[in-house]
Structure 1
Amino acid sequence: MSYLASNLRFLRKQKGITQNELAEQLDVQRTMISAYEDGRSEPKLATLKRIGELLEIGIEELLEHDIEKLGRKALQNRGINILTIAADENDNENITLVGQKASAGYLNGFADPEYMEQLPQFHLPNLSKQTTYRAFELAGDSMLPLISGTIVIGAYVDQLRSVKSGRTYILVTQTEGVVYKRVFNYLEENGKLFLVSDNEHYKPYEVRGEDVLEVWEAKAFISTDFPNPGDKKKALSLEDLGEMIRDIQIDLKKLRK
């Protein structure tokens, strides 16, 4: 089964190109584009190659892969981007801090060395020198007990397929900006990631793999606020705390005997 018609329509709309504009670039009538997208006609090989160039996709994927349903095939093996890394005078990597106010600019500047050099940098001991880390300041209360203003330190994930379901990540996406969520990986099934907030008042949502610019796996956080077990909005309730204390008491009694 050929997916040319649906893929052509989907990719054209995704890039914001009208049928008239595509027809002009291919030097064909607009009615031919309509016929291609309806499945009433197929382009000649030379035109097909030109379509692939314009839409930045291989002919095999354009013809044989259901992109709208499964996402771009190449996502499963691609690196997310080439990182811009900050280093000290001894060539040791620093951790760049992306604050709340810098989050919007980060979407356009994360690959720009001049922009990245302007962001605050710091160093933490005992971190792996084989991994690149970045820090992001949280905004909002979607990931309680971590509150707004908490700084989460993430380790760079260079392959989307390496995202492990159920773990927390900082994602930089074209559609949602910089977010910190619990992520479930459905790239194999439908080309998407499912994002869940630890605060039940926020609804889960999906992002397409192709919209992800960077992924950082949460490894540590810095906060001036200690979680309060008595706050019902926190992940740890009084009942949870009581159960933990009872378990500890039972263990202590066993040790004394």
Structure 2
Amino acid sequence: MVLSKNIRFLRNQRQMTQAELAEKLGLQRTMISAYEDGRSEPKLSGLSVLCDLFQISLEELLYHDIEALGRKATQKKDIKILTIAVDKDDRENITMVGQKASAGYLNGFADREYMESLPQFQLPNLSQQATYRAFELSGDSMLPLVPGTVVIGAYVEQLDEIKSGKTYVLVTATEGVVYKRVFNYLEENGKLYLVSDNEQYKPYEVKGEEVLEVWEAKAFISTDFPHPKDKSQPATLDEISQMILELKEEIRKLKS
């Protein structure tokens, strides 16, 4: 039964135990087991809580085999109310998510107290029509931007607004906080392809439903000045496109 499979799959994807899900629904753990075995079905109120918890439509939860077919990632998600901090003049601050804070950000990005505990700052010359967040890079996958560089991103409300070839900070359930060049294949197969500008790192795919937040890179702050003889140059878009094609071919071969 699709409903029972979906409940089990979505719970495991969120790394929740049956007891934890039962607590959120106000039920006994044995009832969750019955849902997942197909011996019982949630009441309408329970289905509503599941839809809110997993950010999914009722139709998709009841009738779409998510594990086999993937999420309907191109559907419009409810606009999320971001937790932001403001200064004494009620202007939005840019919240800084450092390397050490990245792990905690996955659990705390919706918590006002946690967000207000992070460093805040302002930058001139940024459009006032967007909300911004700053993320400190780790690793060398996006050379010439070196570890410690701070990328300033503007919040993207819907996944279908992602433009192929541009760079984004993605907050994902599986990979955490990553900064990559993104290629949007959501309409084709419900997935995004994430590419490093450093060719030593292979591109990989992420399902649309695993993406929690998207921030389009608008600026960066770095104490490292690129040397004119530095050979660490980013891959061209043609090279990246070829990498994507090779990745898709590898995936096709593995599936066959």
**TM-score, length basis structure 2:** 0.73
Q: What residue number does 1:149 align with?
A: 148
Alignment-derived partner of residue 212 in structure 2: 213
Match of 2:71? 72
- Pairwise CA distance, 1:234: 2.6
Percent identity of equivalent pairs? 65
Contact 1:79–1:160 under 8 Å retained in 2: no
Aligned twin of 1:255 = none
How big is the shift at 1:60?
3.2
Conserved 8 A contact 1:107-1:177? yes
Q: 1:148 to 1:59 in 2, by over 3 A?
A: closer
Aligned length: 219
SS in 2 for 1:100: coil
Greater Rg, structure 1 or structure 2?
Answer: 1
State whether residues 140 and 147 of structure 1, in contact with CA within 8 Å, keep that contact through their aligned partners in structure 2. yes
Counterpart for residue 108 of structure 2: 109
Kept in 2: contact 1:169–1:182 (CA 8 A): yes
Decide which of 9, 12, 25 is 2:31's aligned counterpart: 25
Structure 1: stretches of 5+ with no match in the other structure: 37-42, 238-257
* 1:54-69 paired onto structure 2 within 5 Å: 55-56=50-51, 60-62=59-61, 64-69=63-68
Aligned mates of 1:102, 1:234 — CA distance in 2: 29
Q: Which residue of 2 aligns with 1:242?
A: none
Alignment of 1:29-40 (within 5 A): 33=37
Could you list the per-position Cα deviations for residues 53-75 of structure 1 after superposition, in whole angstroms to 9, with x for gaps in the alignment?
57535553245434235533375
Instruction: Give the equivalent residue in structure 2 for 1:179.
Output: 178
CA 1:48/1:89 → structure 2, altered by over 3 Å: closer, same or farther? closer
Superposed CA deviations along residues 196-225 of structure 1, whole A, max 9, x for unmatched, are 111111111112222211110000111111
Q: Secondary structure at the match of 2:60?
A: helix
Q: Which aligned segments of 4 or more residues in structure 1 are displaced greater than 4 angstroms?
A: 21-24, 26-30, 48-55
Give the corresponding residue for 1:250.
Answer: none
Q: Deviations over 1:168-223 (max 9, x none)?
A: 00011111111100011122222221111111111111122222111100001111
2:8 pairs, out of 8, 12, 35, with 12
Contact kept? 2:97, 2:118, Cα under 8 Å: yes
Which whole-Å CA distance do the structure 2 matches of 1:11 and 1:154 have between them?
Answer: 34
Aligned equivalent of 1:135:
134
The alignment yields a C-alpha RMSD, in angstroms, of: 3.1
Question: TM-score w.r.t. structure 1 length?
Answer: 0.73
Hey, what's the Cα distance between the residues in 2 that align with 1:137 and 1:23? 40
CA contact (8 A) 2:186 2:208 kept: yes
* Residue pairs, 1:82-93, within 5 angstroms: 82-93=81-92
The answer to whether the 8 A contact 2:5-2:65 is kept is no
Which amino acid counterpart does residue 225 of structure 1 have in structure 2? Answer: D
Instruction: Quote the offset at 1:96 in angstroms.
Output: 1.0
Matched with 1:224 is: 223
- For 2:97 and 2:165, locate their aligned partners in 1 and report how far apart those are by CA, in whole Å: 24
